[in-house]
Structure 1
Amino acid sequence: MSLKSSLGKILLGITLGYLAGQYQEELNYYKNEAIRLCRKSLSIETESVGTKGSDAGVKLEKGAKKGKLFTKEDLWENYRGGKGSKGLHLAIMGRVYDVKKGSKHYGPGGGYSFFAGRDGTKAFATGEFNDAGLTDDLSGVETSHFREYENWVNFFDKDYKYVGKLVGNFYDANGEPTPALKEAHIKMKEAQKLKDEAEEHSKRFPQCNSEWSQAAGSRVWCSKKSGGIDRDWVGVPRLLKPATGHRASCVCIRNKGPPTLGHTSKNADRGDLDYPYLKEYEGCDPDSISCKVKRK
């Protein structure tokens, strides 16, 4: 799977998440899932400290792994694949890879040549393909992005040859992990937790299907697969406005059987309709599985 193709899947996930009106955590979840589909778990000599449900886990290396120690100057001056260079390398999370077989992407004139000869870790998640983004300094990067960094390391470990470490933000002059790398591993674990929470939220509150046309306007409806969640019930559309301050979005709510969301209900056969953060669509039959959305 090429980097260009993988990034395309990420952008598709982001777009679909935006159009569906997802919360930020869910948007990050779909973005991470797009990356995950392009890669399998890496197999390297590491110690896993991942959370339950993680595919690859958060990896902590058992001391210095064999390989050359590069300086930033050496990597930049000698490994960008140009005439007279010693090779074509790039680094992510301080790990250096020989990407010669991907020279059409990373070599001079390639669409991702800006990654060559440096550690541009930050940009792999933020998409800032400039000097400010092509850096190993992850200060200010949102925790949710750290799941992506782990996935990208998995990708390069699987598809390219690992050749050493870069002395800098993630490894010291002896090739040992720095506090910055250890902090990154902690954030990877936190990012996995956010992903798990978003996934659980999606199961509890499946999103509505939606469509819009100039003639008919907007419509939302529920089905047994809406929101990408297979289930044995359909539900009815409701606006969910959580107490956390997230914007309201359309979710499908179970309208039969006992409540399942931890709230109480006077009627044991109303499903989750009495959940306190729900609102009916104006002008729509409360029992309908489809509602037209009125413009405000």
Structure 2
Amino acid sequence: MGLYSCFRRNIKVSVSIIVIIISVLCYKKYEELQNFTTEPRGHRLVFSQEQLNQYDGHVQDKLYMAVLGQVFDVTDGRQHYERGSSYHYFIGKDGSRALVTGNFNDESSMKDHVLDLSCNDLSTLLNWRKTYRKKYKFVGFLNGRYYDEHGTETNYFKQFKSKLKECETEKINQEKENLKYPPCNIAWNEEEGSHVWCTKTSGGIARNWVGVPRQLFTPGEEKPRCVCVNYDMDSDSTNLLKKYADCPDTSTMCNIFNT
């Protein structure tokens, strides 16, 4: 009986030790998760422009650059970013604007200014940032146009996000207009010059009508664009539509020598 009691006590002690070890490990894991989730919020790494300048592969061995105020370590792509390479311009700075303009000589204070760019350009910039996020390590924020010294978004960044929303609305409206006025097919040859025509799939918009080519004038744009119009369905914005010269009203193809 004494041996059995001793055995039971040993089992209890062993189980207790295992429970304690598991509890300690679980607590440590919990602390790690807490640190992981709270670190980006409470302790954002923010670079001043002077600090970022030093990550040029010489003063600091690593190569850092910023896109829309977010700093990335592109050292793994050293062959593209080191001094003398194609994209060295971007190192140590936020040269976001050049990602769409291709102006690698811009050292002005406006080299990260993007609010005056088109929606297509802004979309390209977002794709660049997405690529850097996927390919390289994000290391922090740049104190400047997009983030302040605490890594908090600036008013400029808020304006940037507002413009992105406007661009999304513009995109939706454009898609709606394309459904109503699909783009024409356009071709050119030396003998006949330019000509436009409509089909049931012109402009990549499948439909059950063909339509006739017309010039659509959009406020704010210098030149009209060719669209296919179904007058049986259309009753709006006819004052913005114009026929092509010397082209029959019902023709699905028009030559535009002088347009």
CA gap of 1:159–1:229, structure 2 versus 1, over 3 A, is: farther
Post-superposition CA distance 1:45-92 (Å, at most 9, x none): xxxxxxxxxxxxxxxxxx847553211111112x223x4533111101
Deviation, 1:162, is 0.7
Aligned to 1:179: 155
Aligned to 1:230: 206
Deviation, 1:119, is 0.7
Residue identity opposite 2:111 in structure 1? T
Q: What SS does structure 2 have at the residue aligned with 1:162?
A: strand
CA distance in 1 between counterparts of 2:45 and 2:248 reads: 68
CA distance in 2 between counterparts of 1:246 and 1:201 reads: 18
CA gap of 1:294–1:164, structure 2 versus 1, over 3 A, is: same
Deviation, 1:143, is 5.7
Residue of structure 1 aligned with 2:56, choices 72, 80, 84: 80
Greater CA radius of gyration, 1 or 2? Answer: 2
* Greater displacement, 158-167 / 101-110: 101-110
Aligned to 2:252: 289
CA distance in 2 between counterparts of 1:289 and 1:65 reads: 64
TM-score normalised per structure 2? 0.73
Aligned to 1:159: 135
CA gap of 1:219–1:195, structure 2 versus 1, over 3 A, is: same
Aligned to 2:93: 118
CA distance in 1 between counterparts of 2:47 and 2:219 reads: 50
TM-score normalised per structure 1? 0.65
CA distance in 2 between counterparts of 1:64 and 1:150 reads: 23
CA distance in 1 between counterparts of 2:109 and 2:176 reads: 32
Deviation, 1:121, is 1.9
Quote the RMSD (CA, aligned, Å): 2.6
Aligned to 2:171: 195
Q: Which runs of 5+ in 1 are unaligned?
A: 1-62, 264-274
Q: Which runs of 5+ in 2 are unaligned?
A: 1-39
Deviation, 1:152, is 2.7
* Greater displacement, 128-137 / 88-97: 128-137
CA distance in 2 between counterparts of 1:154 and 1:66 reads: 23
Q: Given that residues 212 and 219 in structure 1 are in contact (C-alpha distance below 8 angstroms), is that contact kept between their aligned partners in structure 2?
A: yes
Aligned to 1:221: 197
